[in-house]
A and B are shown apart, each in its own frame.
Chain A
Amino acid sequence: MEKKSIFLFIQERVIEISFNNFLVVLLISGMILTQGCDNFVEVDLPSSQLTQSGVFEDKATANAAMVSIYAKMRDSGILSGNLSGLSNQMGNYSDELVYYGDISGTTRDFYNNAILPSNTEVFNSWSSSYNQIYAANAIIEAVSASSALGLKDKNQLTAEALFVRSLLHFYLLNLYGDIPYITTTEYQKNRAAKKMPCAELYSYIIKDLELAVTLLPEEYVSSDRIRPNKSVAMALLARAYLYNRQWAEAANAASYLLNNTQTYTWQTNLSDMFLKESTTTIWQFKPRVDGQNTQEGETFIFTAGPPSLVALSTNLINAFEPGDQRKEYWIAKVTTGTDTWYHANKYKQRSNTSGSLEYSIVFRLAEQYLIRSEARAEQGDLAGAKEDLDKIRHTAGLAGTTALSQSQMLKAILQERRVEFFTEYGHRFFDLKRANHLDESLSPLKTGWDTTDKLLPLPESELILNPNLKPQNPGY
């Protein structure tokens, strides 16, 4: 080699030099040494990362991938209790909340019925949900490819991921209307995903949930009801059937939970209903650190007026019947001078306590009663409907319903859902929409309310990036 001979030549000369041999040798050897590194530019994986296949070769890391989705749902996106969550956004959009916050806040546009396709919250709700769906799909795919996980773990993880996937699609469908149902991680397919009509979406949601129900165990895999079991998937299935007007299936699914009084014991003490130990809780998010409480508490509770963010609307306050104990236990009053405001007080902790007292509850047993009540009423079983409805009313300290006809019963159930589920995951808005009561209820309250406002706009950037999502929802 040409280079080698030059080095030899240099080295020969070096011997003659009396001046500081050491440095020269260092210099030359530096040159020669560094010729020998073949794989110099190949680097190891950093200690903070694992390859996908590595994650799913081990039960513990596979589990960590799964719970990461729950942590994400809890902390950001539509199911979180912060500003971006449905409880706040849709509470403002419907008739539950009055907005007092920042003039430039995107929530203000929800409150003012001035949502544009470019609204950042419209995009964030969409993108955070699909990001969580991606993670769920990645689990479904990687679990099925894994050779190291046992069948039991495979079933558990797959079913939880299916549940997550259907839950998010369920909310997206109810917010945005026709959307794509994403079942793969392949970006080449997903970047051109096509919209599906609502009926088809429901069939996918129900199919996923039915599979999840068969794969999930009866028992919770961890304490505190923080990871889905069969009943959790069933609770969502009951809701999906109800929204899809499959009354008999809805009633049956709800009965599955309501009959399991061993695990889901009805309790009549309203002030305990939202504690983390509540036996009416079906599924809840555990806070990040022990001692933390719910984000809902941080968002809704204020101690002095005017409110810094939102207060309950007088409309909602007036909707409670006289003697309704929920108004006493679940709502708090703040008076400054002559002005009075109300805030949701279901979750009573606004900040940390020594040991968490409350978790964010996603599914409650009360909903299953009202699902069955509604499903029964729709099927003409008014006595059965009344029985379930009165269960809720009695707990609230109210007399049994006086509704006699089917339409009266359905109206009574809608009213009951309003005062039972206020500021919980947008129930009010979705109920009004299902009952075709949106225009009637919101037109008097919202400037420029239009029937087309029952859907949020699809995010503007999504239509640009994926023309298959066109056309934009009507009215935007």
Chain B
Amino acid sequence: MKIFSLSKGLVLLWYPFIFGFYLFCTPTLARNTLQFSSVQQQQQIRVTGIVTDGVVPLSGVIISIKNQRNTVVTDFDGKYNITVSFSDILIFTYIGYKTIEIPVARHLTINVQMQEDATALQEVKINAGYYSVKESQRTGSISKISSKDIEKQPVTNVLAAMQGRMAGVSITQNTGVSGGNFDIQIRGQNSLRSNGNRPLYIIDGVPYSSDSGGSDLTGIVLQGSTSPLNSINPGDIEGIEVLKDADATAIYGSRGANGVVLITTKKGKAGKTQFTANVSGGLAKVTRLMDLMNTEHYLQMRRQAFVNDGIAYGPTDYDVNGTWDQNRYTNWQKVLIGGTSEINDVQASLSGGSSGTQFLLNGNFHKETTVFPGDYNYRKGNLLANMNHESENKKFQVNFSMGYTAQQNNQPGMDITQQGILLAPNAPALYDQKGNLNWENSTWNNPISSLEGEYISRTNDLFANGLLSYKITPGLITKTSFGFTDTRFNDSRTQPSTIYDPAYEVGSEFSSIYVNNTTRKSWIIEPQLSWSKKIGKGKAEILIGSTFQQQNATQLVQEANGFSSNSLIYNLSSAFNVFDLVHSESVYRYQAFFGRVNFSWNERYILNFTGRRDGSSRFGPGRQFATFGAIGTAWLFSNEKFIKENFDFLSFGKFRASYGTTGNDQIGDYQFLNTYEATGNNYGGVIGLEPIRLFNPNFGWEINKKLELAIETGFFKDRIFITVGWYSNRSSNQLVGIPLPATTGFNSIQANLEATVENRGIELTLRTVNFQRQSFNWTSNFNLTIARNKLLSFPDLEGSTYQNQFVIGEPLNIKKVYHYTGINAQTGVYQFEDYNADGLITAVEDKQVIRDLNPKYFGGLQNTITYKKWQLDFLFQFVKQLNYSGSYGTGLPGTMTNQPVTVTDHWQNPGDIASHQKYSTGVNSQAVDAFYKYYASDAMITDASYVRLKNLSLSYTISEQVLKGVKCRLVFQGQNLFTFTSFKGADPESRFTTALPPLKVFTTGLQFTF
């Protein structure tokens, strides 16, 4: 039943592509080698050679003769021939590589090995979505990572690969369980809605839904949701651009408020047909475990609690009343989450083509097991095919890419991390002598029993996009892009009766399963027209286009229970009851017109206007359309004459500034309608209909105004390159579910609130080329973001339902908490500041301390060192932040739950000074009350800053001579290797004590190319 048929499917899928490309590629040969007459000059000779990057031939390298106009270009085998005279000097230039000059001097063959130039990045074209722009000429704020950074990381989700590498982009992993989700915030939280802060993902021009498609009822082990970006294989990605400021995002209008993540997949490259395979395997374990009490400390605590409460051990106090062995000790964290996950990964890629037609086929298979005891794993296979063609007259172009991903995630039904923390250290053995689950005479819930429940998810994604473009005149290009996505997500969680103690005699009639089926199909068409013209020293570019997009989504969540046998649990037709809990379908339609006008003068002054008029079906009649726009400017002052003359150490200098508006429509579909929905709930033969919300037909867009100023400077031929940006974004017209008291029948209503949220920050990136020699290169990249989030205004906050959640002038992500003042030396319980001095500690009046849970600053430091055939990369990620302490969630010290070892420091006798209050079994209501207030006090919010060796990659290239034409590389990679922190919990990144901490991963791999 669980046989994974992916490999079969993959093979089938390959055939049409291979055949198709076979047809496409055979007749075409290189035609782009320009040849020049060889009889014009005396002593002319013909020089030939091959240009490589040391590994593969480079096609498109421009070879010119110094002080002459003649140029040739290398063909797809890297070969060239050129006619020169002996005294000539050849100049080899290629974007991203160092220019090389070689005198001919009677050599008839000149083979050249180009070297990458870390300082030539200013020439790289940056993808800005609807257009691309040279790095040096861009007016907007765009961060980029390329496949080179991604390939070094043993991760399955591209968001993990972005962590710590981009200024202004904060990414947090929610759980260490495979397939789990990430939180991403680009320049802070703009919306008061916690789920209204997701960026827009665009993959090859096609928007990709940021909704996970999961259900709270099934994906418990993943903290509720899977990451939609799991469907993209990081190995397929050529580059990721993150658009941040108004200049870059306004062209995405209503969806650009939270930034845009542009993902570009790999494309076929002209040149020799090349096969690359990458095989790797590795191990992973959780980063950190909590320091918990051992049996001795724990039992001391328990006994003391009974003494303090003045009561005797009850019949159910098995840990202390003699029922359980009091000398037993188990480190439950080690037993339950201390396992080792095994990782296997194979990537294969075939690419090649002529100058007119190129193709690429990428295949990947990945498997990883879990750290939980038991046989769980996550498997993913995917295929990417790409074809590009350009007509002979170079006027017509067609690009087509298609990706297919299949994932199967098989995990326990629930995360047992918390059980590993809470279980009494002298709890009984997991298995009896016969190897069966031990229930110790029904005195405990064996944690392994929760693993009887299974979580299985299957995701199939089809993703296709095409671009047709036609060059009408050299400056006028019309193009239309098409995209289609089809996602089928299906997951289930079982609760078979075997999770219960057999003594309770519950049979399969108590077994249940939750099943969620989500499908999502979307298409998009974007016709565009672009025009560019050079006018003297100036250049103008104009782009207009429109978007039509539709997404149809369905979701069916079912619960079934009462099975005749547990082995039939996946067969809903054998269930006694089947309930449809959610059965929804939705249509989202989106229409827009957008444009861009760009002027540049003399490569010095650049002006960029972008705008978009958007309509969305998520709003009621009359509220569907809105217009957004931005202006961006740049001044390349290093191109000014007086700078060039007086400051020759300054190799690059640019000021840029932008201002504009974007919007946010992440509120879900149909929210403006007053509707009843079928509940699927039967009463006396009638299926119920119920009102689903309080309705408000009048809400509209959220508006986000962004301002940015930045300076980019390069020194000493860009060997030191610094970018400093300052931004200030304001979000208003906040679209929120305004919390309502339950007396209204619901918890919230959707409305625009005249509140303004400001995000300000400084982003610094620094790139230095520390060494640049033939055999030794060392470059460093550093990024730092210092951000501050602030609620600027909120009309009538005092009287509103948010009064206890927000404070004007403070960040959104704050906690208003009691101020902990220490332990009452006489009574031994926690005490708090009574701000209004009424003798009572009450929630509203006395929660006066504000703690900001946003990171104060974060960033990363990456180093790349190459020495001969060795390459070493490492990235340190750092975050300065506060968070809930690790002991949040361990319960009242003295009850039957284990505690952090720090809790041993506790109050015992009047006059004691201790960090924790007196132990209690839970019957001392004064202690219980103080304890819950302690949870809601500043004592629980501690420093959770950390520095982490996020990534380490070491590779060695085996020379081609050894393996005869096969280039081979040995790679060691590690992720989350070391964490330096004073945080007392498990891992400072995971915010839930119920979630598995992130994993540290070690892999070794072999990569070969021929």
The answer to whether the Cβ of B22 comes within 8 Å of any Cβ in the partner chain is no
Residue interface mask A201-234, B partner, CB < 8 A = 1: 0000000000000000000001010110000000
B303 at the interface (CB under 8 A from A): no
Q: Report the minimum CB–CB distance from A476 to chain B (whole Å).
A: 10
- Least Cβ–Cβ distance between A343 and chain B, in angstroms: 12
A156 within 8 A of B: no
Which residues of the partner chain A approach B670 to less than 8 Å between Cβ atoms? Answer: 45-46, 49
Restricting to A419-476, which residues have a CB under 8 Å from any CB of B? 447-448, 459-466, 469, 472
Question: Which residues of A39-71 are within 8 A (CB) of B?
Answer: 40-52, 54-55, 61, 63-65, 67-71
Chain B residues, CB < 8 A from A465: 739-741, 801
Interface set, chain A 255-308, CB cutoff 8 A to B: 286, 288-289, 291-292, 302-306, 308
Q: How far is the CA of A127 from the CA of B548 in the complex (A)?
A: 42
Q: Does A151 contact B (CB under 8 A)?
A: no
A288 touches B577 (CB 8 A): yes
Q: Which residues of B contact A44 (CB under 8 A)?
A: 587
Given contacts A37-B548, A50-B676, A103-B895, contact A306 B316 (CB under 8 A): yes
Set of chain B residues within 8 Å of A144, measured between Cβ atoms: none
A42, A51, A70, A114: the one contacting B674 at CB < 8 Å is A51
Distance between Cα atoms of A471 and B803 in the complex (Å): 17
Q: In the complex the two chains form, what is the Cα distance from A316 to B391 in whole Å?
A: 91
Q: Given A31-B480, A131-B742: A52 and B577 within 8 A (CB)? A: no
Residues of chain B with a CB closer than 8 A to A112's CB: 922-923
Tell me, yes or no, whether A1 is within 8 Å of chain B by CB.
no
| Residue A332 lies at the interface, judged by CB distance under 8 Å to chain B | no
The reply on B136 being an interface residue by CB < 8 A is no
B584 touches A135 (CB 8 A): no
Q: Report yes or no: B505 in contact with A43, Cβ–Cβ below 8 A.
A: no
A:85-137 near B, CB below 8 Å: 100, 103-104, 108, 112-114, 116-118, 123, 126-127, 130-131, 133-135, 137
* Nearest A residue (CB) for B582: A48
When the two chains form their complex, are residues B677 and A24 in contact, meaning their CB atoms are under 8 A apart? no
A residues in contact with B500, CB < 8 Å: 308
Q: Is A333 an interface residue (CB 8 A)?
A: no
Q: Which residues of A346-379 are within 8 A (CB) of B?
A: 351-352
Chain A residues within 8 Å of B562, by CB: 351-352
The reply to whether B743 and A34 contact each other, CB–CB distance below 8 Å, is no
Which of A187-195, A241-249, A381-389 has 4 or more CB atoms under 8 Å from chain B? A187-195
User: Which residues of B are found within 8 Å of A227, using beta-carbon distances?
Assistant: 684
With contact pairs A130-B745, A226-B683, A286-B683 given, residues A464 and B576 touching in the complex (Cβ less than 8 Å): no
Q: Which chain B residue has the least Cβ–Cβ distance from A44?
A: B587
B678 touches A19 (CB 8 A): no
Chain A residue total in the interface (Cβ 8 A): 102
Question: Does any Cβ of A come within 8 Å of B896's Cβ?
Answer: yes
Counted as pairs of residues, one from A and one from B, with CB atoms less than 8 Å apart, the total is 269
Q: Which of B94-102, B196-204, B237-245, B688-696 contacts A (4 or more CB under 8 A)?
A: B688-696
Contact among B479, B548, B689, B843 for A27, CB-based, below 8 A:
B479
B766 within 8 A of A: no
**B687 touches which of A64, A182, A447 (Cβ 8 Å):** A64
Q: Among B392, B576, B591, B689, which residue has its beta carbon within 8 angstroms of that of A55?
A: B689
CB of B591 within 8 A of CB of A19, answer: no
Asked if residues B745 and A42 are in contact (CB atoms below 8 Å), the reply is no
Cβ-based interface call for B308 (8 A): no
Specify which chain A residues have a CB less than 8 angstroms from the CB of B677 in the assembled complex.
Answer: 48-50
Q: Are A351 and B509 neighbours in the complex by a CB distance under 8 Å? A: yes
B224 part of interface (Cβ distance < 8 Å): no
The answer on a CB contact under 8 Å between B741 and A462 is yes
A35 lies within 8 A of B546 (CB): yes
Contact A288 B686 (CB under 8 A): no
A362 to B391, CA, bound (A): 79
Cα–Cα, bound, A156→B945 (Å): 63
> Is A8 located at the chain interface by the 8 A CB criterion?
no
* Interface presence of A75 (CB below 8 A): yes
Contact A64 B689 (CB under 8 A): yes
Q: Which of the 9-residue segments B393-401, B426-434, B978-986 touches chain A?
A: B393-401
Q: Does B183 contact A (CB under 8 A)?
A: no
CA distance A108 to B482 in the complex (A): 59
Q: Are A52 and B591 in contact (CB under 8 A)?
A: no
Which one of B43-51, B851-859, B925-933 is at the A interface? B925-933
Q: Is the CB of B683 within 8 A of A41?
A: no
Q: Is A72 interfacial (CB-CB < 8 Å)?
A: yes
Whether B144 sits at the interface, judged by CB under 8 Å, is: no
Question: Is A199 on the interface with B (CB-CB < 8 A)?
Answer: no
Residue of B443, B617, B675, B689 touching A68 (CB-CB under 8 A): B689
Measured between beta carbons, the chain B residues less than 8 angstroms from A43 are 587-589, 617, 669
Please give the distance in Å from A87's CB to the nearest CB on chain B: 20
Q: Indicate if A154 sits at the interface (CB-CB under 8 A).
A: no
Beyond A49-B692, A351-B562, whether A40 also contacts B548 by CB under 8 A is: yes
For residue A24, which residues in chain B have a CB less than 8 angstroms away from its CB? 396, 468, 470
The answer to whether B683 and A65 touch across the interface, beta carbons within 8 angstroms, is no
Residues of A within 8 A of B897 (CB): 103
Give, as a whole number of angstroms, the nearest-CB distance from A212 to chain B: 19
For B872, list chain A residues within 8 Å (CB): none
Nearest residue (CB) in A for B624 is A41
Chain B window 734-749, contacts with chain A (Cβ cutoff 8 Å), 1 for yes, 0 for no:
0000011111111101
**Are A61 and B925 touching (Cβ within 8 A)?**
no
Are the CB atoms of B681 and A71 closer together than 8 Å? yes
- The answer, yes or no, to whether B335 is at the interface (CB within 8 Å) is no
Residue of A nearest to B891 (CB): A104
Are the CB atoms of A71 and B679 closer together than 8 Å?
A: yes
* Known A45-B673, A464-B803; contact A190-B744, beta-carbon cutoff 8 A: yes
Does A180 interact with chain B (Cβ within 8 Å)? yes
Q: Are A68 and B679 in contact (CB under 8 A)?
A: yes
Q: Which of A20, A40, A64, A67 contacts B396 (CB 8 A)?
A: A20
A138: interface (CB < 8 Å): yes
Give the interface centre of B525, B576, B689, B928 by most chain A CB atoms within 10 Å: B689
Check A65–B676 contact: CB distance below 8 A: yes
Name the residue on B nearest A103 (C-beta).
B896
B688–A46 contact, CB under 8 A? no
Q: Residue among B500, B509, B694, B896 with the most chain A CB within 10 A?
A: B694
Given A46, A47, A118, A466, which contacts B932 in the complex, CB threshold below 8 Å? A118
Contacting pair B690 A65 (CB below 8 A): yes
Q: Which residues of B does A touch, CB under 8 Å?
A: 315-316, 391-393, 395-396, 398, 442-443, 468, 470, 472, 478-480, 482, 500-501, 503-505, 509-510, 525, 527, 529, 546, 548, 562, 576-577, 579, 583-591, 615-617, 621, 624-625, 669-670, 673-679, 681-684, 686-692, 694, 739-747, 749, 801, 803-804, 842-844, 891, 895-897, 922-925, 928-929, 932
Instruction: Known A-B contacts: A34-B546, A48-B677. Give 13 more (CB < 8 A).
Output: A23-B468, A49-B670, A52-B674, A55-B689, A61-B676, A63-B686, A126-B742, A131-B746, A190-B745, A191-B740, A303-B504, A464-B843, A465-B741
**24 A–B contacts from the bound complex (CB under 8 Å):** A20-B391, A27-B480, A31-B480, A41-B625, A42-B617, A45-B675, A64-B688, A67-B688, A68-B690, A71-B682, A112-B923, A116-B928, A134-B746, A135-B691, A187-B694, A187-B745, A191-B741, A193-B743, A288-B579, A288-B681, A288-B683, A304-B442, A308-B501, A351-B562
